[in-house]
Structure 1
């Protein structure tokens, strides 16, 4: 008996098709949800109105502010309609007209910029819709100049390739720091990193005697939070067999389901710079499956029974992007990603009914040789569930998960696909 692996291009297409729906679900949920928190807006005349501001992603926060007072209607403001807005103790945004030094084709545009450093010289931040980060420096209440760093791949006439860097941000900062030569000299070797930009602008403000404004005038620097936890539950797995035309035997096999426990460890990392609602979850799970089936085979003028049993043991490595609803004691979660599977054991055996007896069978024989067994594979994963605080402030999660993985052989004749359905309970061991 033989097995086959599906065409890799077809697998990639099917993987993308299966992954699109969960990702669209996450996106639509994220867009639809609002997260109003105590905040304020600064009107063009300088008046401050207090109420609630929608805590949005970094991308959307730069172009729109949703504000409401009490039970009043929600109003949307663009960057040209406000001087700024904020969430006390968390985020501060100011409306600034920004310019790009080396691009005359890009007209100046007004954004809500995240204030990283306040003072005589300010450092601002924005993430665009393509996920790229932008930093700006400003010395006044209205305009800001982008700190430009570009890295491009070029090919020389001899065919060799190398990267060229344009550190235009250093010239912009050197001009800005003209009042403090001691700080200005440090710009020549300054790397283009947020932490370095924050540090040197704070240093310049101290040099020129500008009080580095109170923390309420600048956003709190978001930091990733790492958690370690355990996860355990029950897996219900379905093995599906497909055979090539003319292949007898397993064409009639229906293995049904395998119900076995599953468990392991989980590592979670939040992504506050992208969104406070997003995190990455990496798990290591032990998973065993056991299938058995008996079926009838018609061969020539004879009909006989055949039995097949399959045992699979894997270490699974799911990598998931999680969206968590931002409010409430019990918060919905949605996840999507991929799972890599490392095979520890793959045993598939069959036996046939004796030609002389309807009750006895031949000895068990391997379905395939060890050379055609698949030791590793991957598949798309999606899940939905809830999250809540448990005893001692530890996070509890309960989720229903579905995964589609490849079979366990790369020979020809027969293909196999496994659907994994799991109910999992997780608890963090760290706070």
Structure 2
């Protein structure tokens, strides 16, 4: 047991050798106008973050900085944000589950928004609320910003069916805003889509071909980091660990099997025969090694992931002997063979930055295969299994399903390529023991067995696992 505990402790200490969480060179512009340069944790935001994790030096302590205290911030990889006082339609909605009924209504609000800069200069493009209902703001030097937003609403048609309609005349709005007409981009209007990349491409063309302003350096929105922020990322890795397993039988109940039931009016005697031998028995208790692999699909923002995991462990052999208090079969021995148990788990993971890494919390459902008990029931000293000279049914196995479902939960810490987690699983099943005849219904009229009761147990398995996982593929965000 001491060796097993040392194994678990060693696995828990492995995570200290992990690499640092990803920080990128960047800058903060404070309200006073001064600029702080250092490194910022890149969380691949869709919407403007409420808080940034900033270090002035690679070895300095991490500071949590509220973005409300900033005029803007940026990453050297190209993404930039800036605070703007803007008037926008707070009632505009393009998510279909939140649409308004009948004609769309407007609710203009003036507020300071932290917007992402997609195009800078005398003709700029910024965006806010990117993950819900994107609001794009086009601003030409000397003019007020133009808001472009899609509005979806529901209405009832002539047949009485509810349908969705949208109002978005962004091309005409932009055409009127960019007066006078510029023939150089006349062919581009029909190709223009209400998307960040398409709007930016059009405005870059207008800026260079109509305003005569050359693009002397890559624009912020042209950097790969902008498109990567909206993409999912896959992580593949292997894992190893130790699992403390506790499997036991409990809550015996009974199954009645008719042997030669005579019907109503017969002279029947109900006789107790055997006890539920396995009630409370520990089928397995101890620490077992675990190995497997995992796949994480990280969503934009890198705070949520779908988690798929496969692992395998070995179940040990169980043997127990019992006294039956029956003259024809005084002892009984159960043997459950060892078996390799593969399992697969599907769930989700949440990530929260703490220190130089991230706290990991997850939950889901696990399915364990090959769970049937390869069992044998022996009666070493039996001449014959009988009751009052009558042969009893002679089944000598335990019966249960070949797969088990379990909820699982996990909590851990991730840093670089390594992730350490403590995992809990709870498998539940029933096991029938047809070899144990608890009661006999005896027919006195013709000296026959009318029916027998066999035993059914609840079969519960709890696992507490300490795992260390290693990511195999490179971090494509870098």
Q: Does 1:321 align with 2:349?
A: yes
Residue-by-residue CA offset, 1:228-274 (whole Å, 9 max, x unaligned): 33323333333244426679454322224364443333334444x42
Q: Secondary structure at the match of 2:283?
A: coil
Cα 1:133–1:355 change in 2 (3 A) is: farther
Residue-by-residue CA offset, 1:161-216 (whole Å, 9 max, x unaligned): 65544445455445445544665765556554444444334344334334447447
Q: Does 1:253 align with 2:281?
A: yes
Cα 1:356–1:413 change in 2 (3 A) is: closer
Determine if contact 1:122/1:139 at 8 Å carries over to the other structure: yes
Distance (whole Å) between structure 2 residues aligned to residue 169 and residue 417 of structure 1: 61
Cα 1:413–1:364 change in 2 (3 A) is: closer
Q: Does 1:265 align with 2:254?
A: no
Unpaired segments ≥5 residues, structure 2: 1-20, 93-103, 256-275, 384-392, 433-454
Query: Could you tell me which residue of structure 2 aligns to residue 367 of structure 1?
Result: 398
Distance (whole Å) between structure 2 residues aligned to residue 292 and residue 73 of structure 1: 53
Residue-by-residue CA offset, 1:2-35 (whole Å, 9 max, x unaligned): xxxxxxxxxxxxxxxxxxxxxxxxxxxxxxx9x8
Q: Secondary structure at the match of 2:201?
A: helix
Distance (whole Å) between structure 2 residues aligned to residue 145 and residue 307 of structure 1: 80
Query: Could you tell me which residue of structure 1 aligns to residue 336 of structure 2?
Result: 309
Query: Could you tell me which residue of structure 2 aligns to residue 49 of structure 1?
Result: 35
Q: Secondary structure at the match of 1:40?
A: strand
Listed as ranges, the matches of 1:175-324 within 5 Å are 175-177=176-178, 179-180=181-182, 183=185, 186=188, 190-208=192-210, 209-212=212-215, 214-215=217-218, 220-221=225-226, 223=228, 225-243=233-251, 248-257=276-285, 259-271=287-299, 273-275=300-302, 281-290=307-316, 292=318, 294=320, 307=334, 309=336, 311=339, 313-321=341-349, 323=351
The normalised TM-score by structure 2 is 0.60
1:121 is aligned, of 120, 123, 140, to 123
Cα 1:185–1:368 change in 2 (3 A) is: farther
Query: Could you tell me which residue of structure 2 aligns to residue 112 of structure 1?
Result: 114
More helix as a share of residues = 1
Determine if contact 2:120/2:219 at 8 Å carries over to the other structure: no
Question: How many correspondences in the alignment?
Answer: 376
Query: Could you tell me which residue of structure 2 aligns to residue 419 of structure 1?
Result: 462
Q: Secondary structure at the match of 1:366?
A: coil
The higher radius of gyration belongs to: 2
Q: Secondary structure at the match of 2:237?
A: strand
CA RMSD of aligned residues (A): 4.9
Distance (whole Å) between structure 2 residues aligned to residue 166 and residue 417 of structure 1: 57
